[in-house]
A and B are shown apart, each in its own frame.
Chain A
């Protein structure tokens, strides 16, 4: 699929360029039993993501974006339907270190340095010490935090903390990156820069990325595929394959193609609203 040939880092899983989807959801339903009765968080969600795609999930809050990501991560179990990750059930995929998860809050441990935080999953997964150090160095460079390894989280800005948490998710070479509104708590300026960096990171690492956002420009700017969702019950109302090229300078956001995609997303969101 990817024409840009820079697949140096993509061979880790070596399943690579086959057509088999990395994430395959077919008719996934999830009902939460709450005190106020059942809540249908996901209704008949079907979605196929191939290797190296950047997929954004956009929709009003409560439409099940987080829930879907958590299903992929095996943090929730669908009530019915079929969901595979790298061809495995999500729980197996988790144990095979298929994905790194980035939450809205950086969630760095205050008692560990930045390097210590990034090392944490490596310790748990039993990497040898020397390799831990090498990997920490590598991902720190990748997110542009080289030299900050010995700092403590409170010494870093919010944007830098979030970059560190992305580095932590990248450290063990999972080939899927799950990100739930990672920049939601940051201001617009920092967010723009991090979006650009994330795009270049994605281009370099070829990670299949699932990215939840509230922002239409962010979704259009980053994605090869945009999934529009609507609430009550949480469902997919539109799936848009972006016609934008993979190489995206920031000012692409003024181009007619960009605006056309943004328009379609907005239409999809509105349609979801009217139906209810």
Chain B
């Protein structure tokens, strides 16, 4: 345990240190503009003149003013503690102590990240289930049908080369014109991203049994369906879970991208709203919430994998 904790801790500390250092030059121009407005003496000339100077030069020549970059109202890059404060305020702060929070009203506040994470989670799970089911079905088809074997994979690969950011608004607009709104369009984008790793993993998994095991099935005159159920599917379980872990993370990304153009809740909506209003801390808090959600979902898959394999008698 300690062996893994120490290196992880070291990396986290290094990232935090780098982040604090980076926040100073990133925010220096706004810091100086505000200081100037408040009547302070600023090195580097007027604001337009300062545009031509390097950020590091401004930091070095204004050593007293620069640390204010860690505590601005609307920083270009918020410092870690500002993000943590925002994260706390928009989760526990809002729900436990807020007027519209869960403790007061019995419902999650629509200003809290917990609420938005829940919106995102719902669409992610629906999309993931659709994507995983489609992936498994396609893989079964590919393994059993020569025509599908030749034709499906190239299209699946092509589908993944189209940038989802370009495709998502189109999907949403088209579905919207057909009267489909809310969770489903996001889930479809999410499924679009998550079916692919499942297809790839499952095709490999379903083909994992060797010729001898297939021959054995043949000597018992087993049908294709029986071979699938009793040999190919159980043999593919380790491959399935490896691809489900990738797929659920991809599902989350798909949902968030799908939430960007719609602005009806969800972490994606929060990120975009934050950028409209210059609330960078809000963007970062939503980003961290998404990362936490992804970690939880991947961990959940790992847990399911361990449970399943143990139930299948694989030595622990």
- A-side residues, CB < 8 A to B, are 73, 75, 94-95, 97, 99-101, 103, 105, 107, 109-113, 120-121, 123-125, 152, 154, 172
Contact = CB atoms under 8 A, between A and B. Distances in A.
B221 interface: yes
Most buried by A among B212, B213, B217, B221: B221
A67 B314 CA distance: 34
Secondary structure call for the B interface? helix
Given A75-B218, A107-B216, A111-B234, 13 more contacts: A94-B221, A100-B219, A101-B216, A103-B215, A105-B212, A107-B212, A107-B213, A109-B234, A110-B312, A110-B314, A111-B312, A124-B226, A172-B220
Nearest to B231: A109
Contacts of B226: 124
B315 interface: yes
Interface of B: 212-213, 215-222, 226, 230-231, 234-235, 237, 312-315
A73 B219 CA distance: 7
Nearest to B223: A124
B89 to A, nearest CB: 49
A172 B219 CA distance: 12
A207 B193 CA distance: 56
Contacts of A95: 221
A121 B312 contact: no
A273 to B, nearest CB: 29
A172 B222 CA distance: 14
A125 B215 contact: no
B218 to A, nearest CB: 6
B220 A121 contact: yes
B313 A152 contact: yes
Nearest to B237: A111
Contacts of B216: 101, 103, 107
A75 B222 contact: no
Given A121-B220, A124-B222, A111 B215 contact: no
